[in-house]
Amino acid sequence: MTFKTVVLGAVAALMTSTAAMAEEMKMAVTTSFANSGLADVLLPEIKEDTGIEVQLLIVGTGQALALGAAGDVDAVLVHSKAAEEKWLAAGNGTHRTEIMYNDFVFVGPQADPAEAGAAEAATGALQAIAGAEAPFVSRGDDSGTHKMELRLWKAADVTPEGDWYKAVGQGMGAALNTASGMNAYIMSDRASWLKFANKGDLGIVFEGDPVLFNQYAYLPVNPEKHPHVKTDLVNQLEAWLLSDEAAELINAYTIEGQQLFVYNAGE
Amino acid sequence: MWQAARLVATFDPDLVEITALSLRVSLGATVIASLIGLPLGAWLAVNRFPARRFVIAILNALMGLPPVVVGLMVYMLFSRSGPFGVLGLLFTPTAMVIAQVIIITPIIASVAHQAIRELWADYHDLLISLQATRLQRIKTLLWDGRRALMTASLAGFGRAIGEVGAIMIVGGNIDHATRVLTTAIALETGKGEFDMALALGFVLIGLAILVNLGLHFISRTERGARW
C-alpha cells in the first residue's frame, strides 16, 4: 500500500461519508407527533422512498419554531396556526403546508366528579371543571397544546387560576404523569393519550367537539435567511408528504382500533 | 430489573448504541476536563496570589452550575444564529462533550485542589529545599497525588454520565445520532413507560460501577509496581 493509495482511499472515504451526510436533514416536531408513534411508521418509508434520513428533534411548538428561526433545523412540523403565521411573517420560513389533523380530548378521573362529560361543547366541559374547582393540569409550556388550551379557556370565558389549576411547564408526557398522579383533569392530544402507558384511574371524559381539531403543518426554514438549510431535501420531503402513499399511511395509522390522524393536505 | 437484565442479555442493538454514545461523550468530557481541571487545581494549591481565595470560591460555586443553564449557553454559542454557528456542531456528540466539560471541570478542579493542598502541606519543605521550579512542583504533586486525583476525575465522570439537562438541549436526543442513556430515560418517562425508563436507569448505574471498578483495577496494578 503506497502513500498515494492511502491518500486516495482517505479522499474516497471522505467523499462517500459526505455524500451519506448530505442525505440527512433535521426536522423539529412536536412531542404529540413523536409520542403518537406515527413517526416510527413514516420515517422508515421516507428513507426507503427518498433516501432521506430525517432526524427528529422532539420539542414543544414554541421551541420548534425557535429552532427553525435560528436555522438549527431544516424544517418544522407543528400545530399552532397563529404562531406559525407569525413565524412566517417574520421571514423565518418559506411557506406553510397543511398536512393532517388530529384532535384533543379531555382526560380526567373516570368517575368524572366535575361532570365535564355531560357538557355539550368543549367550552362547557371547561366551565364545569372550573365551576367544580376540580384539579386541572395545564402544560404551561407555550406549546401548541398549551396555546390551544388557553384559547379554549378564553372562549369559555373563564380565567383559569386558583389552587385547582396547575401549570406544570412540561411536555405532554410529563404533564400526563402529573395528572395521573393527582387524578386531575387534563387536555391531551388523542395520540399521546392512547399511547400513554401510565393512565392510572384516568379516562377520556369529553371528546368530539370540532373546535378540538388540531391542524399540523409543515414549514420549511427560509434558505434566504439561512443559506445552509438543505432546501433540496426539504422539498423532496414535502413532495413525499403530499403523496398518496403518505395519505394512505397516515389515515391507516391506528392505536387500539382508533384512527389518530386525518390526512387533509391539498383540501 | 428483569427488563434491564433482558435488555442487556439480548444485546439489544439500540441499547448498545446509546450506551456506547453515553460512554463516549462522558468519558471524552472527563478526559478533557481532567486535562484542564487537575493542573488548574494543583496550580491553585501551590501558588499564592491576591485573588486566590476569590478564584477558589468561584470554582467551588461553579460546582453547582445548573446543567440546563450550561446547555442553554452552549446552545446559544453553537446555534446557527450564534457566534460559532458556522461550525455546524449543534446537535452533535461534540457539542454534548463541550457542555459536559464546562459542567464537570469545576468539580474536578475543586476536588483536585483540595487533595493537592493537603499533599502540598506535606511536601512543601522538601520541594522548596530541593529548589524545585514551580512546574516541577506541580508535576510532582500531580504524580504523587494521582490516586486522590483519580477520585476527582471519577467525581466528574459521575456527574457527566448522569447528566441530562445540558445534553438534552445541545444534543437534541436525536434517535441514532445523539440519544444517550439519560435522555432516553427522560423520553421513556415522558411516554409513561416507567418500566423501560427504570431498566435504562439500572443499565446506567451498572455502567458507572463498571467504569469505576475498571479504573480502580488499573490504578491498583500500577501502584504495586511503583511502591
Q: Average pLDDT over chain A, rounded to whole?
A: 89
At B11, the pLDDT band (50, 70, 90 cuts) reads confident
Q: Does the beta-carbon distance from A198 to B194 stay under 8 Å?
A: yes
> What is the rounded distance in angstroms from the CA atom of residue A227 to the CA atom of residue B8?
44
C-alpha distance from A230 to closest chain B C-alpha (Å): 13
Yes or no, beta carbons of A72 and B79 under 8 Å apart = yes
Reported as a single tens digit per residue, the pLDDT across A27-71 is 999 887 887 889 999 999 999 999 999 999 998 888 899 999 999
- B119 vs A22, higher pLDDT: B119
Using a CB-CB cut-off of 8 Å, the residues of chain A touching B82 are: 70
Please give the torsion angle defined by the CA atoms of residues A237, A242, A245 and A249, in that order, rounded to the nearest 10 degrees.
Answer: 90
Chain A residues in contact with B80 (beta carbon < 8 A):
70-72, 226, 228
- Which of 3.40.50.620, 2.40.10.10, 3.40.50.2000, 1.10.3720.10 is the CATH number of B2-226? 1.10.3720.10
Q: What ipTM was predicted for this assembly?
A: 0.75
B189 and A180 within 8 Å at the Cβ level: the answer is no
Query: A58 and B187 in contact by Cβ < 8 A?
Result: yes
Res A267: pLDDT:
73
What does the pLDDT read at residue A121?
A: 94
| Cell 421513556 belongs to residue | B188
Helix or strand run (H / E) with residue B153: helix B146-161
Q: Note the pLDDT tens digit of each residue in A211-248.
A: 999 899 999 999 999 999 999 999 999 999 999 999 99
User: How many of the other CB atoms lie within 10 Å of CB of B219?
Assistant: 12
Measured between alpha carbons, how far is A109 from A183 in angstroms, rounded to an integer? 6
> Alpha carbon A187 to chain centroid distance?
14
Amino acid at A33: F
Q: Any chain B CB within 8 A of the CB of A172?
A: yes
- Return the C-alpha cell found at A34: 413523536
- Which cell is A64 given? 420548534
Interface test with B, best of A32, A41, A55 (most B CBs within 10 A): A55
CA distance B170 to chain A (A): 11
Flag the least confident range among A10-19, A76-85, A92-101, B139-148.
Answer: A10-19
B79 contacts A226? CB cut-off 8 A: no
CB spacing of A72 vs B91 below 8 angstroms: yes
Interface residue ranges in chain B relative to chain A, Cβ cutoff 8 Å: 79-82, 85, 88, 90-91, 172-175, 177, 187, 189-194
Q: Compare CB distances from B177 to A55, A72, A180 and report the shortest one's residue.
A: A55
Q: Is the model's pLDDT at B17 over the cut of 80?
A: yes
- On whether any CB of chain B is under 8 Å from the CB of A144, the answer is no
**Chain B residues touching A199 at Cβ < 8 A:** 192
For domain A3-101+213-263, say whether CATH 3.40.190.10 is its number: yes
Strands A53-59 and A24-30: parallel
CB atoms within 10 A of CB B163: 24
Task: Please name the residue of chain B whose CA is at the shortest distance from the CA of residue A195.
Answer: B191
Q: Is B80 in Cβ contact with A226 (below 8 Å)?
A: yes
A103-212 shares the fold of A3-101+213-263:
yes
Which listed CATH number (3.40.228.10, 3.40.190.10, 2.40.160.100, 2.60.40.10) goes with A103-212? Answer: 3.40.190.10
Chain B residues whose beta carbon lies within 8 Å of the beta carbon of residue A35: 190-191
pLDDT at B224: 52
Interchain pair A58, B173: CB under 8 A: yes
* CB spacing of A173 vs B190 below 8 angstroms: yes
- B175–A197: do the CB atoms touch at under 8 Å? no
Cβ neighbours of residue B135 under 8 Å, at least 6 residues apart?
Answer: none
Where does the pLDDT of residue A142 fall: very low under 50, low under 70, confident under 90, or very high at 90 and above? confident
- Per-domain residue ranges of chain A: 3-101+213-263, 103-212
Angle CA B99–B100–B104, to nearest 5: 130
Q: Hey, are the CB atoms on A70 and B81 less than 8 Å from each other?
A: yes
Convert the pLDDT of each residue in B135-157 to its tens digit: 888 888 989 888 889 999 999 99
Say whether B190 and A35 touch across the interface (CB within 8 A).
yes
